[in-house]
Copies of this chain bind each other. A is one copy, B any other.
């Protein structure tokens, strides 16, 4: 089983890394970009456990220490 987690800064939080990428893209001639957000991507390979249990445990792990819920949002997908 594979879980995919995308962690992004909340919209209200300043994202200097995204701003830096946007500036870099502009300097390289990509002028039509209005915003860039940079986040983290985690791919977790799991053994055993059914979908529902895995989702619950990973959701807890995301909330407890894979993301910082004060400034970040996460999206968890299991396939």
Q: Which residues of A contact B (CB under 8 A)?
A: 6-8, 18, 21, 24-25, 28, 30, 32-49, 57, 61, 64-66
Residue of B nearest to A44 (CB): B36
> B residues within 8 A CB of A18?
42
B30 A42 Cβ-Cβ under 8 A: no
Q: Which residues of chain B are near A49, meaning CB under 8 Å?
A: 32
Within the complex, the shortest CB–CB distance from A55 to chain B, in Å, comes to 13
Nearest residue, chain B, Cβ from A34: B45
Residues of B within 8 A of A33 (CB): 44-47
CB–CB B43/A41 < 8 A:
no
Per the bound structure, the CA–CA distance linking A64 and B47 in Å amounts to 37
